[in-house]
Amino acid sequence: MGAGKKMKDTAKTTKGKVKETTGKVVGNEGLETKGRREQIAGDAKQTARKAKDTLKH
């Protein structure tokens, strides 16, 4: 897995967690939902890259 792509996916997941937490604190359900979606997208990309790397080896 490329280090840059891994960092990008991890950053997306982290950014999503921050948005979700901020949404919970301020009571903004839209921000909370958007944060959860970003986390899911980041996690899915990480999982797909790991699976792809596993198949290569």
pLDDT given for residue 6 in this prediction:
84
Total number of domains in the chain: 1
Q: Which of residues 50 and 30 earns the better pLDDT score?
A: 30
pLDDT given for residue 7 in this prediction:
87
Please state, in angstroms and rounded to a whole number, the distance separating the CA atoms of residues 24 and 3.
32
Nearest to 37 by CA among 52, 53, 23, 54: 23
CA 21 and chain centroid, separation: 14
Tens digits of per-residue pLDDT, 12-47?
Answer: 999 999 999 999 999 999 999 999 999 999 999 999
Q: Is the pLDDT of residue 55 over 90?
A: no
Domain holding 16, by residue range, is 3-56
Q: Is the pLDDT of residue 1 over 60?
A: no
